[in-house]
Amino acid sequence: MAIDVVVPPLGESVTQAILIKWHKADGAQASMDEPLCELETDKANVDIPSPGVGVIRRVKNEGDTVGVGEVIARIDTVGAAAPAPAKSGGAPATAPAPVTSAPAPAGSKLDDLSPATRRIVAENQVDPATITGTGRGGRLTKEDVQNSLQRGNGEGAATAPAPATPVRHQAPASMTTPSPKTAPAAPAAGSMNFDARGERRVPMSKIRRRIAETLVKAQQTAAILTTFNEVDLQAVMDLRSKWKETFEKTHGVGLGFMSFFGKATVQALKEYPHINAFLEGEDIVYHQHVHLGIAVSTDRGLAVPVLKRAEELSFARIESEIKRLASAVRDGKLGLEELSGGTFTITNGGVFGSLLSTPILNPPQSAILGMHTIQKRAVVINDKIEIRPMMYLALSYDHRIVDGKEAIGFLVRVKQLLEDPARLMLEV
C-alpha cells in the first residue's frame, strides 16, 4: 500500500512552492511525522512531514516547482520489508543493484538529470560528462554543477574543459580582478564577471518571480488608494522611557513601538470593520477577529507572520509574539498556520529610514498600514513652535470596499490613540 505525500495548503494567495531540499534519500525508511523535504514559498520555508511509516519513493526532484495538492512522493508501507525478500530471490536480488550503481556516468546524459540540474547545465553550456556526480548512484546534482562552476571561476584545474565551453561568461578575463570593486553588493554565490558591455545578467529566482507576480496582481485587481497623516509620538516615547525597565522586568520582554501601533490598529479596526474585511466575488466578508500581519524583511524578501486574535493580546503578548515570529521567519522555522489568515497588515519601512511610502496591499486584505521613520520636526503646539518626534503614516486601501471617509477616519483614530496613549488603556 502506498500513501501519497502531497503539498499542503500554503496560505492565502500561495499556490506554488519550490522543493529545495530532500531530507530523506529515495528508498530510505521514513517514520510517522518525520520531515521528508523542505519547500520554499514566497512567505517562508516549510518542512513536509511523513504521513505514514514506510519506504519513501520520490516523485519530484530538488529544484522542481510544485503546486498545492500535487504528489511529491509516496510512502510504501509494505516497502519496509522489501530488502528481506530481495535476498531470498538470489540472482534477481543482485539485478537491481547495478541499476542504481552502474550508471556512474548517468550525469553525462542530459535526459537523466533533474529539471533544476538540466536548466543550470543548459544555461552555463556545461558538459555534464566532465563533472563527477555525488547523488544517488553517481547521479549529477545541481550542487555538483554549481560547485564545478565556482571551481572553474577560480583555480579549477581538474574541471578545465567545463569552463572552456561557457566562453561568454569567462571571456572578459581582464575584468575578473576589478569586478569585486565594481559590484560589492552582488551576491557572494555565482560568477562576479561582467560581459564586454559591463553588464552582468542573473536569472530572477523563482521566489522573487512569485513575489513580483503577487504584487503586480494586487495592483491589477484592486482599486488601491493611499491616504496619509502624521502622528506626534512624544507621549508614546515619554511613556516608554518611564516604564520601559519596569515593563521588561515584569514581562521579560522590551516595550517597543509596535505594541502601541498594534493596539491602536486593533481598536480602530473595531470602529471601522470594512477595513478588516475583504471582497470575495460580489460578497463582503467581515471578520469577527483581528488577525494582525506584521511584515518582516528577510534576505529572501518580505514575509508576513500573523498574530491571531490580536484584540485579545496584551502589550506584553504583542511584543513577545512579534519577536518570536520575526525570529522564526528569519530562521525559516515558521509554520504555515502562522503565515496564514491575516486580515490586516502593518509594515514598517521606517526601520530602513523610509520617510514616506505607499505600501501595496497583501491580498486578499483590503488595507495595509505603513509606518515610517521617526524624525524630529518643528510643529505648532498650542500656537507655539516645538520640536517633536513625528512619523508619517500611510494607509493603502481597496477603494472598492473602503470609502475615503472610512480610510481617513481610521487613520485619524490611530493618530488620536497614539498621541494620547491613555485612550489605549481605557479604550476610549
Q: Determine which one of 283, 299, 399, 420 is catalytic.
A: 399
Q: Which of 33, 195, 238, 403 is catalytic?
A: 403
Q: What is the DSSP string of 111-149?
A: GGS-HHHHHHHHHTT--GGGS---SGGG---HHHHHHHH
The CB density around residue 167, as the number of other CB atoms within 10 Å, is 9
Long-range Cβ contacts of 107-114 (<8 Å, 24+ apart): 107/131, 107/132, 107/133, 107/138, 107/139, 107/140, 107/144, 112/139, 112/140, 113/139, 113/140, 114/61, 114/62, 114/63, 114/64, 114/141, 114/142
Q: Which residues contact 116 (CB under 8 A, 6 or more apart)?
A: 61, 62, 63, 64, 142
Instruction: Give bridge partners of residue 297 from the DSSP assignment.
Output: 302
Q: C-alpha grid cell for residue 134?
A: 555525488
Is residue 399 part of the annotated active site? The answer reads: yes
- Report the C-alpha gap between 46 and 19 in whole angstroms: 10
Residue length, the chain?
428
Q: Which helix (H) or strand (E) holds 240?
A: helix 234-251
Decide if 381 contacts 199 (C-beta within 8 A). Answer: no
Do 218 and 51 contact (CB within 8 A), yes or no?
no
* 196-233: b (≥16 Cβ within 10 Å) or e: eeeebeeeeebbeebbeebbeebeeebebebbeebbbb
Shortest CA distance to 166 belongs to which of 144, 139, 141, 195?
195
Q: Say how far apart CA 114 and CA 116 lie, in whole Å.
A: 5
How far apart are alpha carbons 423 and 244 in whole angstroms? 19
Q: Where are the beta strands (DSSP E) in 157-298?
A: 224-232, 278-280, 283-285, 292-294, 296-298
Rg of the chain over all Cα atoms, to the nearest angstrom: 27
Q: Report how far residue 216's alpha carbon sits from residue 18's, in angstroms, rounded to the nearest whole number.
A: 20
Identity of residue 164? A
How far apart, in Å, are the Cα atoms of 68 and each of 75, 250, 289, 339? Answer: 18, 44, 27, 16
Q: Which residues are catalytic?
A: 399, 403
